[in-house]
């Protein structure tokens, strides 16, 4: 989407000045916008912040911080897929269900449960961790599958570091999940690693 005024396209500082307008009576709003841009080089970085982090910027108080977080929340809502694939047949069909993982600053492990026709039943965040990892309990993953009446599932977790390749622990976890699923006549179709720049599919790479 392009934003223009009578003199040409608006810069990032111009756009921020509208959001920050009235934030402080004692600071020039354009200077504040410049300082804001120095703290956050991209929208992705801003989406990882909370209100307290925003208030570390001089001139940003509790009210303005809430307004900025509201703008971020609107952005997330407007960019949510309007219609998710009815049947998940490949990694590209599954990835929209895991879009929330892209902007997190900590690791989470999500599972998309599917019926026999590979139609989504439910997508749940089962585990949360820190910046470098999260602990996955295979028993919980399988128990939820039985509760939901699923016959297949796709698991996904994010790498806040941006690394698109699986760690040795990721590979071990995948093998455990596949093995446990087989004993219950369930199928783990794929394991996705999600980052801000893209995703890695174990299935697409022949690792399942």
Kindly tell me if the per-residue pLDDT of 205 is higher than 50. yes
Answer whether 10's CB lies under 8 Å from 4's CB: yes
pLDDT at 26: 46
Query: Token match 């295979």: residue?
Result: 138
CA neighbor of 95 nearest in space, from 166, 177, 176, 195: 195
Average pLDDT on 98-120 reads 93
Adjacent-strand bridge partners of 19: none
- According to CATH, the topology of domain 4-78 is DNA polymerase; domain 1 (1.10.150)
Query: Token match 């585990």: residue?
Result: 127
3-class SS of residue 84: coil
Query: Token match 């892209």: residue?
Result: 102
For residue 185, what pLDDT band results from cuts at 50, 70 and 90?
very high
Answer whether 23's CB lies under 8 Å from 2's CB: no
CATH architecture of 91-201: 3-Layer(aba) Sandwich (3.40)
- Which tens digits make up the pLDDT trace of 12-50? 555 555 566 655 454 555 666 666 666 666 666 666 677
State pTM to two decimals: 0.62
Q: How far apart are CA 143 and CA 97, in angstroms?
A: 21
Domain extents for the chain?
4-78, 91-201
Kindly tell me if the per-residue pLDDT of 123 is higher than 60. yes
């Amino acid at each position: 989407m392009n934003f223009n005024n009578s003199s040409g396209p608006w810069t990032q500082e111009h756009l921020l000045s509208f959001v920050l307008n009235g934030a402080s009576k004692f600071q020039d709003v354009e200077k504040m916008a410049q300082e804001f841009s120095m703290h956050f080089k991209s929208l992705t970085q801003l989406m990882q912040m909370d209100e307290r982090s925003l208030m570390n910027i001089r001139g940003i108080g509790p009210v303005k911080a809430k307004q900025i977080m509201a703008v971020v929340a609107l952005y997330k809502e407007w960019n949510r897929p309007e219609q998710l694939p009815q049947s998940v047949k490949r990694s590209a069909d599954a990835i929209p269900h895991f879009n929330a993982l892209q902007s997190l600053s900590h690791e989470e492990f999500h599972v998309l449960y599917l019926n026999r026709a590979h139609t989504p039943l439910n997508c749940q965040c089962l585990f949360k961790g820190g910046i470098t990892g999260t602990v996955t309990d295979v028993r919980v993953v399988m128990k939820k599958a039985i509760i939901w009446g699923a016959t297949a599932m796709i698991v996904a977790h994010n790498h806040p570091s941006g690394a698109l390749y699986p760690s040795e622990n990721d590979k071990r976890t995948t093998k455990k999940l596949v093995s446990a699923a087989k004993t219950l006549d369930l199928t783990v179709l794929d394991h996705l690693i999600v980052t801000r720049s893209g995703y890695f599919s174990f299935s697409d790479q022949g690792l399942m």
